[in-house]
Amino acid sequence: MIPVNYITSILTFFSIFCIFAFGQNIMLGYAGLPMLGYMGLVAVGAYTTAILSTAYNLPFIVTLPLSCLMTMLIAFAVGWLFMRGKLAGAYLVVGSIGFNFIVVAILLFAPWFGRMFGIGPIPAPEILGYRFSSSVDFSILGLFFVAIVAYIDRQLSRSALGLGLKALREDGIAAESSGVNTVRLKVLAFILGSFQAGIGGCLYAYYIKSVFPTYFEFVHSVEVFTMVILGGMGTTLGPIVGALVPTLVPEALRGNVPMEARFLIYSIIIIIVVLFEPTGILGVNSRVRRLLSRLARLKL
Amino acid sequence: MIQQLVNGLALGGLYVTFAIGMALIYSVLRVLHIAHGAMILVGAYCSLLLLPFFGDNLVITIIIGMLVAGFVGTLVGMGVYVRLLKSKSSTKYDTILLASVAILIASQEALMILFGVRHKQYPTPINSLTINIFGISLFVIQIACALVSFVSMFVLWVFLTKTDEGRALRALDQDPQLASLSGVNPLKTYIITLFTGSMLGGLSGGLLSLYYNDVHPEIAFVPVNIALAVIIVGGLGSIPGTIIAGLILGILETTALAYIPLTFPRTLVSFIVLIVILLLRPRGIMGRP
C-alpha cells in the first residue's frame, strides 16, 4: 500500500514545477525566447514570500500577489535590458544563465537574504481561516493553481497576443515588417511568463518552509527548460506532460536501479526523446499528437 | 603582481583553448555546444588512466586524450546536432541546446559510475614544481599550460588561414549557401570542425586536470560556464574575440580571487563581466552586428 503522503508530496512538487513550466512555456514556447535562468525569477517570488511572511507576518492573500508583482517587476527590468540590446538566440541563453548566477550570488552574499542559511521557517498559509499545513492540502492548492495557469495559457494561445508571440517565434523579421512591435512584445512575454514564477515561487516557499539559494541554482533552471521542450513547446498540454517526466521518472526508478544510475538514465531518456521527437512528446507536429488527432477523428 | 599575471595568463590560456573549440563549432553549426565539457572529461580521464600503459609519459597520454576527444566530439556532433539541424522546426536550436546539456550530464554520470566519485590524482604531481626566473618563482605547470595553449592557438590560426579545409570552414561560417555553391562540402567541413574543436577540448581537459591535479566527473562544470561567458564576451564566432576575452577573464578571475577577501564561486567574476558587456556591447567585444 502506497502511503497517501507520498503521493500528495509528489503531486505537490509536480504542480509547482508544472506552474514553472507554464511560465517558461510563454517565454520559450510562444515567444521563442530561450530563457535558461527561470529559477532566477522563481527565486525573486520565493524570497519575497519568505521575507514578507516571516519578517512582516503577512498572510497568504497578501504575499501571493506581492510576490507575483515583484517577480514581474524584476522580469520587466531584465527583459527590458536584454531586449534593448536585441539579445537573441545564444546571446540570450548565456545572458539568462548569467542572470541566474547573479541572482544566486546576491542571495548568497547580500546581508538581507540570510546568506547560505536561507530564510525560514515560513508559517503555513491560511485562507479564510483554513490552514494549509499537510501535503494533502498543498497538493490541492497546487493543482488549483495549475488549473488557473493552464486556463490562462489556453486563453493566451487563442488570443491575438498569443498569435503575435508565435509570429515572433516563427519569423521575427516578418513579424516586425507587418507592424508588430517586437521589442515591446518580447518584454511583454518576459513579464507574462514571470507571473507563473511568482505564483510557483510563493507556493514553493510555503511548501518547503525555508528557502535557500541552492534551490534556485542554474541546474534547476535546466530542469524547467527540459520540461517545456520534452512536453512540447507552445502547447497547453506540453508543460503538464513535461512536468510529469522529472517527477515520475525518478520515482519509477527508485528501488529498481541503483541511486547513481538515475541521472544517467534520465538524461539518456531526454536524448532519446529529443532525437525521435524534436518538437517534444506533444509538440505541434509530433507522432503522439498526430496519433491522438487521428483517434479523435475516428470518434471512438 | 607578475605572479598574478602569470597565473591569469595560464588559466586564461586554458579557458581560451577550451572556449575556442566551442566557438569554432558555434561558428559552423550555430549550436551552443555545452556538451563540449564532455571533451574535458575525456581528455582528463584518458591522460590519467592511460598513464600506466605508456610508461608514465604524459605527453603521449594527453595526445591520445585529444584524439579520443576528437572522435567522441565528432560522433556527438554528427549523431545528434547534424541530425537535429535537418529539422524544419523553428525551435530546433532550443532542442539541440537541451540535447547538448543532457549529453554533458550523461557523460558526467557515466564516468561517475565507471570510475567512482573519488577525486583522482596524478601519481607524480607536477603542479607543485617551481622554477626561478629573474627572482620570481613560477609554477612549471603554468608555463607549460600557457605555452601549449599559445602554440595550439597559433596552429589553429595557421589551419584556418593557410589550408583549404580551414578556408572552407571560414567560408561556411560566413555564408553557408554561397560556400556550398562554391564546392564546399558541408558534411566534410562539419566533421573537420567538430574533430578540431573537440581535440582542443580534450587538450584543455588534460592540461586542466594537471593544473589542479584533480580528475573528477565534475571538473567540467566550471570551465563550461566560463567558456560560455568567454565566447559571448568575445563575440560569438569570433576567434580573436574569444582569445582576448578568455585571457581577460582568466586574469580578472585570478586577481579577484587573490585580492578580494571573500569566498565566492570563481564563475561569478566571468558572469559579472558577461552581464556588463551584454548591456554595453550586446554583440560582444568583436562580434559581428
Q: What percent of chain B has pLDDT over 70?
A: 98
pLDDT at A19 over 90: yes
pLDDT at B216 over 90: no
* Contact check, Cβ <8 Å, A97/B93: no
Per CB-CB distance under 8 Å, the chain B contacts of A169 are 90-91
What mean pLDDT value characterizes chain A?
A: 85
Pick from B101, B110, B264: CB nearest A222? B101
Residues B82 and B190 sit within 8 Å (Cβ to Cβ): yes
In angstroms, the CA B247 to CA B261 distance is 23
Average pLDDT for B127-149: 76
Within a 10 A sphere around the Cβ of B116, how many other Cβ atoms? 12
Residue that the C-alpha cell 539559494 belongs to: A213
- How close does chain A come to B154, measured CA to CA in Å? 27
Per CB-CB distance under 8 Å, the chain A contacts of B110 are 264
Average pLDDT for B228-256: 87
Pick from A28, A95, A275: CB nearest B80? A275
* Contact check, Cβ <8 Å, B98/A89: no
A95, closest residue in chain B (CA to CA): B275
Q: How far is CA A85 from CA A80, A126, A273, B18, B280, in A?
A: 9, 43, 34, 27, 8
pLDDT at position A282? 80
Average pLDDT for B91-116: 88
* Contact check, Cβ <8 Å, A101/B80: no
- The H or E element containing residue A127 is strand A126-127
pLDDT at position A158? 86
Bridge pairing between strands B136-139 and B130-133: antiparallel
B265, closest residue in chain A (CA to CA): A105
Residues A227 and A239 sit within 8 Å (Cβ to Cβ): yes
pLDDT at position A299? 60
Ramachandran sector of residue B93 (left: φ over 0; alpha: ψ -120 to 50; beta: rest):
alpha
Per CB-CB distance under 8 Å, the chain B contacts of A270 are 98-99, 102
Furthest C-alpha separation in chain A: 62
- How close does chain A come to B192, measured CA to CA in Å? 23
In angstroms, the CA B43 to CA B65 distance is 4
Q: How do residues A237-268 score in pLDDT, each as one tens digit?
A: 888 988 888 788 777 777 777 777 778 888 88
Give the three cell numbers for residue B28.
559552423
Residue with more model confidence, A54 or A129: A54
Measured CB to CB, residues of chain B less than 8 Å from chain A are 26, 32, 80, 83-84, 87, 89-95, 97-99, 101-103, 105-106, 109-110, 112-113, 225, 228-229, 231-232, 236, 262, 264-265, 267-268, 271-272, 274-275, 278-279, 282-283
pLDDT at position A160? 83
Pick from A98, A226, A234: CB nearest B98? A226
Q: Give me the phi and psi of B131, to 5 degrees please.
A: -130, 160
Q: CA gyration radius for chain B?
A: 19
* Contact check, Cβ <8 Å, B90/A271: no
Q: Is the ipTM, as predicted for this complex, more than 0.90? A: no
Displacement of CA B281 from its chain's centroid (Å)? 23
The b/e string for B27-40 (b: 16+ C-beta within 10 A; e otherwise) is: bbbbbbbbbbbbbb
Q: How far apart are the first and last CA of chain A?
A: 34
Q: What is the dihedral of CA A208, A209, A213, A214, to 10 degrees?
A: -30
- How close does chain A come to B86, measured CA to CA in Å? 10
User: DSSP state, A30?
Assistant: I
- How close does chain B come to A109, measured CA to CA in Å? 9
Per CB-CB distance under 8 Å, the chain A contacts of B274 are 94-95, 98
- How close does chain A come to B36, measured CA to CA in Å? 15
* Contact check, Cβ <8 Å, B274/A279: no
* Contact check, Cβ <8 Å, A91/B232: yes
pLDDT at position A15? 92
In angstroms, the CA A196 to CA A48 distance is 14
> CB contact, 8 Å: A98 with chain B?
yes
Residue that the C-alpha cell 522563481 belongs to: A42
Bridge pairing between strands A126-127 and B136-139: unpaired
pLDDT at A300 over 60: no
Pick from B98, B267, B268: CB nearest A229? B98
- How close does chain B come to A167, measured CA to CA in Å? 11
pLDDT at A176 over 80: no
Q: Give me the phi and psi of B50, to 5 degrees please.
A: -85, -10
DSSP string, chain B: -HHHHHHHHHHHHHHHHHHHHHHHHHHHH----GGGHHHHHHHHHHHHHTGGGGTT-HHHHHHHHHHHHHHHHHHHIIIIIHHHHT---TTHHHHHHHHHHHHHHHHHHHHHHHH-SSPB--SS--TT-EEEETTEEEEHHHHHHHHHHHHHHHHHHHHHHHSHHHHHHHHHHH-HHHHHHTT--HHHHHHHHHHHHHHHHHHHHHHHHHHHT-B-TTTTHHHHHHHHHHHHHH-TT-HHHHHHHHHHHHHHHHHHHHH--S---THHHHHHHHHHHHHH-TT-SS---
A230, closest residue in chain B (CA to CA): B95
Furthest C-alpha separation in chain B: 62
A259, closest residue in chain B (CA to CA): B113
Under the banding of pLDDT at 50, 70 and 90, the label for residue B289 is low
- How close does chain B come to A172, measured CA to CA in Å? 11
Average pLDDT for B93-113: 90
Half-sphere exposure of B262 (CA within 13 A, CB side): 11
Q: Chain A window 148-207: which residues touch B at a Cβ cutoff of 8 Å? A: 169-171
3-class DSSP state of A211: strand
pLDDT at A61 over 70: yes
Pick from A81, A270, A278: CB nearest B92? A278
Cβ-based neighbours of A297, under 8 Å, separated by 6 or more: none
- Amino acid making up residue B176: P
A83, A99, A226, A271: which to substitute to probe chain B, counting the most B Cβ within 10 Å? A271
In angstroms, the CA A47 to CA A213 distance is 9
The b/e string for A8-24 (b: 16+ C-beta within 10 A; e otherwise) is: bbbbbbbbbbbbbbbbb
* Contact check, Cβ <8 Å, A226/B26: no
Under the banding of pLDDT at 50, 70 and 90, the label for residue B288 is low
pTM of this structure: 0.88
Per CB-CB distance under 8 Å, the chain A contacts of B271 are 97-98, 101-102, 105
